[in-house]
């Protein structure tokens, strides 16, 4: 296995962009089904307007250039080429930090977040930021066999940090990253100083419900009503027949856009309209990345290789902090974690909060790691 780290630059051929535009021109639109608002899925009028913007106004080259401002690399680990961003801070005492994105996101999740960590203001805690792309996402090679899980990805991340020369570092994760980030600490116990999770720890299982207080039970009941808990069951869909649905997402940009819009709309835990939570161009940059790399199908491995849904448990190797504690229950989270940071009143936001509230998220992450040093 080569340990070479090669420079990488995004250069999508113009023919691919022309093909995308042509496919959007030739879209065959369905009629609107009866029902109010989003009750039947993404409204036709909403998606038509968004697709028109994607075709006529969104400029991939502008956003490609922005992404290329971040130093990017490829290295082979566990038989796969792993793509990653590596942004070193000018601050001499910066702490290395590996960020892990979720699904259906990509390293685009952190583009408004990285500089806040690497180049902070007013002498705040600084970080050397490493952002790998999960296998099968974006420019990372897809797994060639079944059996992949968060622990295997975590071992890749630990090896990546070793190759970069980092002996002590922190980990961060949200969504699927909330499973990977603690697993890095387990895989590299002598190297991880702390684990920061967006949320999801301490959620009660069926056996825990009788132990909850009235307030805890009410908070979890409210969570259970949210769209992201009751929308399209992507766990079931991608765990059962991802190949079947990948044909549509890979062949039709309208189908791909509708799928992404549906999921980002459902994941909008902050209650704002999607376009107010996440800038339209940032959302479309992520959609375009999936489309242009053909990774709608290959990104599904984390669902069809799972044995069923369960909330992240965490670990007790390194201290843990969360951005959003409730409606998770701290005493439940502490069964499997050493919780040292559990804020009660951080501003709410989208499920992908680093895209919605990068300043708030960076401030809270910095507070957690600063207390560990």
> What's the CATH code of the domain at 121?
3.40.50.1820
Q: What is the residue range of 304's domain? A: 5-370
Is residue 77 over pLDDT 80?
yes
Task: Assess contact for 104 and 51: CB atoms under 8 A.
Answer: no
Is residue 214 over pLDDT 70?
yes
Q: Mean pLDDT across the chain, nearest whole number?
A: 94
Q: How far is residue 373's CA from residue 370's CA, in Å, rounded to a whole number?
A: 6
Is residue 99 over pLDDT 60?
yes
pLDDT at position 226 = 65
Most confident among 18-27, 114-123, 199-208, 270-279 (mean pLDDT): 18-27
Is residue 280 over pLDDT 90?
yes
H or E element at residue 169 = strand 169-173
pLDDT at position 327 = 85
What integer is the mean pLDDT of 294-308?
A: 90
Q: How far is CA 291 from each of CA 275, 320, 360, rounded to the nearest angstrom?
A: 20, 35, 30
% of the chain at pLDDT higher than 70 = 97
In the 8-state DSSP scheme, what is residue 39?
B
Higher pLDDT pick, 220 / 134 = 134
- Half-sphere exposure of residue 229: CA atoms within 13 angstroms, side-chain side: 12
Tens of pLDDT, residues 36-58: 999 999 999 999 999 999 999 99
State the pTM of this model: 0.95
Is residue 272 over pLDDT 90?
no
* Domain count within the chain: 1
pLDDT at position 3 = 86
Q: Which residues are catalytic?
A: 175, 303, 351
Judging by beta carbons within 10 Å of its beta carbon (0-12, 13-18, 19+), is residue 98 exposed, middle or buried? buried
Provide the strand spans (E) within 54-165: 72-77, 80-87, 95-100, 127-132
The DSSP bridge pattern shows strands 72-77 and 5-8 to be antiparallel
Task: Assess contact for 100 and 132: CB atoms under 8 A.
Answer: yes
């Amino acid at each position: 296995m080569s340990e070479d780290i090669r420079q990488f630059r995004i250069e999508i051929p113009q023919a691919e962009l022309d093909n995308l535009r042509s496919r959007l021109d030739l879209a065959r639109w369905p009629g609107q089904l009866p029902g109010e608002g989003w009750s039947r899925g993404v409204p036709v009028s909403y998606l038509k307007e968004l697709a028109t913007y994607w075709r006529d106004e969104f400029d991939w080259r502008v956003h490609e250039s922005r992404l290329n401002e971040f130093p990017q690399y490829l290295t082979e680990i566990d038989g796969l080429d792993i793509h990653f961003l590596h942004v070193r801070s000018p601050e001499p005492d910066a702490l290395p930090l590996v960020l892990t994105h979720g699904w259906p996101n990509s390293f685009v999740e952190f583009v408004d977040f990285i500089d806040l960590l690497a180049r902070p203001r007013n002498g705040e805690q600084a970080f050397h930021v490493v952002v790998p792309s999960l296998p099968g996402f974006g420019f990372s090679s897809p797994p060639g066999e079944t059996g992949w899980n968060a622990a295997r990805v975590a071992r890749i991340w630990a090896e990546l940090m070793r190759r970069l020369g980092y002996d002590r570092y922190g980990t961060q994760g949200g969504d699927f990253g909330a499973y990977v980030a603690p697993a890095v600490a387990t895989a590299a116990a002598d190297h991880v100083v702390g684990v920061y999770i967006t949320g999801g720890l301490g959620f009660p299982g069926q056996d825990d419900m009788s132990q909850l207080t009235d307030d805890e039970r009410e908070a979890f009941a409210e969570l259970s009503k949210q769209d992201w808990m009751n929308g399209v069951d992507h766990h079931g869909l991608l765990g059962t027949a991802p190949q079947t649905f990948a044909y549509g997402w890979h062949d039709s940009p309208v189908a791909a856009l509708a799928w992404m819009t549906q999921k980002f709309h459902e994941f909008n835990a902050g209650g704002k309209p999607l376009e107010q939570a996440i800038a339209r161009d940032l959302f479309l940059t992520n959609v375009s990345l999936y489309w242009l790399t053909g990774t709608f199908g290959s990104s599904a491995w984390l669902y069809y290789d799972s044995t069923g849904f369960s909330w992240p448990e965490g670990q007790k190797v390194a201290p843990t902090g969360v951005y959003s504690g409730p409606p998770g229950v701290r005493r439940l989270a502490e069964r499997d974690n050493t919780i040292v940071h559990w804020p009660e009143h951080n501003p709410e936001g989208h499920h992908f909060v680093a895209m919605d509230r990068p300043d708030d998220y960076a401030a809270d992450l910095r507070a957690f790691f600063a207390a560990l040093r």
